[in-house]
Structure 1
């Protein structure tokens, strides 16, 4: 066989390999496999590892939970782009594990969050109160740099709330936002055609001004969610409603102001909160631990995908678009969503 035939064979083999690779990539992202992949990722995420923070009795333990970032259910079991942030499904799984594990006698909840979705915040609140009522396990909260809006909502049922003097908290209330770029589009000759089944189907449309009737409809919804927020503080902090409403006007406050307003109990860092749990609930010999995620092939794939696509600006923008909501929604949130 001469050299030309060898070259032809090598080229043909290379084309075959590339073709197989391209087909495999496309197959990977087909909807059926993607569904199975998401299910597997979720299964892997629910396998908790435990990291011991302070040694002690394995029969009497203090669990440390962390809410770090915006409280939103993005529908992702594990991120394929960027670093992991708050994972709602994973966090709810931890709460369920705490409910079922009889060796866990108390919980410290660390919060560093500007808040998030109304539904997700309420889900966490309901689960915490369910654990308290059915098991009697106490929850102490350690507020970090920020525990505002929904971050405060999930802290409200705690037996005790600790803050730093520099902690930003408060921002009690509900917000719903959208962008109106209709006038800008008109300036550039862009015309939007909308066909709808009812007068309110395109409520909060970004292409036109809102009517007074639409504003009233949305305001009623927000008022209901706001009342729920006030009610959980009244119950959780054992405060009169008028006292809650006096500070539940959306204002942000620091740790000192929160303590003075009876929205927090004391100043302290993580070690102070754990010491408080040990002292208040006879847990001097308790082991302190936190949950993690089992390393799996999904984690390895995450690394591979990041190395494949890199960290260029376009990829970061794509990741942002993939993980953000495009439609307006009610939020217990401080700051820009």
Structure 2
């Protein structure tokens, strides 16, 4: 009996502790949601003679991101600037009589090349309204500077720095490391240029991969250098001479002499420039309006119109399931639901992905084909920084494909990776295996090298996947299979070249795709946008994922610059058999 009461009391104590913890967690959740809601509903007014301030720091994302409870609880909340909101705000500001001009406060933005180009083009269009743009920085990163060259004047701190260096890409190679630990990665692929497998096979870039990287990096830099030259009133040779001159080491007086910047001044001195430009009294402060606050005001006013265009965001790695990226088990039902929505008049798929699972890519492609056949409504694709391999697979059936000149796309190829850890087990740690089987048709596993029959079967499997990929692209682009194969082979193309060889229809961003679809729907200035998937905060999902998110956050914080290597190794352990994925690269 005594043991019974002890057990009951223990159970009751456990229940009360659980209730207390969940109650505490609930209070925290309510606080997080309240703080988030309060920040989203902050009242902002725009007075006459105001300046729209765009702070180039933090991270540019394609759209607003959902609440991350870990960031909210720890206070580690990087500032995020949704590109779609920024561009809409800039376009509206050009027609807003209360906005006199734009101030670019450059402080080290993290963004992709296509995002930067889209932002810069919006600023160029803003200037066509007759309004001015000024830029200031203590230190200009190359991304900051690219955007800032849309300004009328570029100012820099007297002891500041400007870094203009051209482009380079860095890839990590693991063959020696894998050899040392006794792991062989068995590769089966189609595509001379399908370089995503090279880090596991080689210690340096192959000749074919070096050739393709030189081509697309050169084309992207030519585009960027040309825009910089245009903005600064110099020729591209001058910009290339800057990129060869280690500009980060130059005195600011030299930067001004070479017309890289216009003037040197301290930050507080820019206030006088802005006050004069907005015709305020001498002792006034400039009337600054933050772009995100301004965009929030617009979003509450603009969503009206007779026609509705759905923008479906597909961002990240393509997988069959999971909590992050593009997962077919979530995106496919979303697409089919959109096909049944009578108030949707057209669909734009916004793709920013280097690919992933071939199986998942096919499922998403088929769902989009269903949308077309069931609705007969226009369907476009807008490509972001990258829409390659599986990212191109899910895009190829669109009525029109839009890309920025600096977008990375193509990479029409396929591969399979089968690690073989038998040397690690046998030679390194002394573990041996013995297998008994009734038949020999097993899928290759981790414990043994592939047999010749298994390799032949895997190659046939990969070949079949490649033929299907090429067929989808040929059907989508309305060309022959042979013409697609001539530009496939896993080769990555820049957007400008992709438009020349028929992989892309028009050069431009999401704003151009929206404008063209609105014109097709006879709704030039009379349409509204609905964004998918829904970004409602689901606190129970956040709680369930908190443990894994916390672990990943701690590991990545400790690894610092090596965190991308950790992420890639972690993802490789969950790859499906066939991959439509471009290489992991970092462009500097």
Q: TM-score, normalised by structure 1?
A: 0.75
Partner of residue 261 from structure 1, selected from 497, 501, 508: 501
| 1:324 to partner: Cα distance | 6.8
Aligned mates of 2:515, 2:446 — CA distance in 1:
51
Q: Deviations over 1:52-99 (max 9, x none)?
A: 695232x5200000111111122x4xx4xxxx4334333223212211
Question: Any idea what SS the aligned residue of 1:178 has?
Answer: strand
* 1:56 and 2:304 matched: yes
* 1:120 and 2:324 matched: no
The answer for the alignment partner of 2:440 in structure 1 is 199
Aligned mates of 2:424, 2:551 — CA distance in 1:
34
Question: Any idea what SS the aligned residue of 1:103 has?
Answer: coil
* 1:67 and 2:314 matched: yes
- Contact residue 407 and residue 494 of structure 2 kept, 8 A: yes
TM-aligned CA distance change 1:106 to 1:320, over 3 Å: same
- Contact residue 319 and residue 328 of structure 2 kept, 8 A: yes
Q: TM-score, normalised by structure 2?
A: 0.45
Partner of residue 286 from structure 1, selected from 527, 544, 560: 527
* 1:271 and 2:511 matched: yes
Question: Any idea what SS the aligned residue of 1:89 has?
Answer: helix
Aligned mates of 1:106, 1:268 — CA distance in 2:
18
Partner of residue 157 from structure 1, selected from 377, 397, 403: 397
Q: 1:220-239 alignment to 2 at 5 Å?
A: 220-239=460-479
TM-aligned CA distance change 1:66 to 1:193, over 3 Å: same
* 1:313 and 2:555 matched: yes
Q: Which structure: larger Rg?
A: 2
Question: Any idea what SS the aligned residue of 1:175 has?
Answer: strand
Aligned mates of 1:111, 1:229 — CA distance in 2:
17
- Contact residue 118 and residue 330 of structure 1 kept, 8 A: yes
| 1:307 to partner: Cα distance | 8.8
Question: Which stretch shifts more, 313-322 or 102-111?
Answer: 313-322
Question: Any idea what SS the aligned residue of 2:317 has?
Answer: coil
Partner of residue 298 from structure 1, selected from 526, 537, 540: 540
Aligned mates of 2:567, 2:12 — CA distance in 1:
32
Aligned mates of 1:113, 1:302 — CA distance in 2:
26
Aligned mates of 1:328, 1:85 — CA distance in 2:
15
Q: 1:1-337 alignment to 2 at 5 Å?
A: 17-18=13-14, 21=17, 54-57=302-305, 59-74=306-321, 76=322, 79=323, 84-188=324-428, 189-201=430-442, 203-284=443-524, 285-291=526-532, 292-299=534-541, 301-302=543-544, 311-313=553-555, 326=574, 329-335=577-583
Q: Deviations over 1:246-267 (max 9, x none)?
A: 0121111111121111011111
* Higher normalized contact order (CA 8 Å, seq sep 6+, divided by chain length): 1
- Contact residue 113 and residue 147 of structure 1 kept, 8 A: yes
Structure 1: state its 5+ residue gaps: 1-11, 26-50
| Number of residue pairs the alignment of both structures matches | 291
| 1:21 to partner: Cα distance | 4.6
Q: Deviations over 1:133-181 (max 9, x none)?
A: 1211111111111111111011011011111111111111211102222
Question: Which stretch shifts more, 225-234 or 16-25?
Answer: 16-25
Aligned mates of 1:314, 1:15 — CA distance in 2:
38
Aligned mates of 1:320, 1:18 — CA distance in 2:
40
Structure 2: state its 5+ residue gaps: 1-7, 22-295
Q: Deviations over 1:22-77 (max 9, x none)?
A: 7999xxxxxxxxxxxxxxxxxxxxxxxxx9695232x5200000111111122x4x
| 1:273 to partner: Cα distance | 1.1
Question: Which stretch shifts more, 187-196 or 138-147?
Answer: 187-196
TM-aligned CA distance change 1:23 to 1:245, over 3 Å: same
Aligned mates of 1:105, 1:251 — CA distance in 2:
35
TM-aligned CA distance change 1:312 to 1:289, over 3 Å: same
TM-aligned CA distance change 1:15 to 1:281, over 3 Å: closer
Over aligned residues, Cα RMSD in angstroms?
Answer: 3.5
- Contact residue 69 and residue 113 of structure 1 kept, 8 A: yes
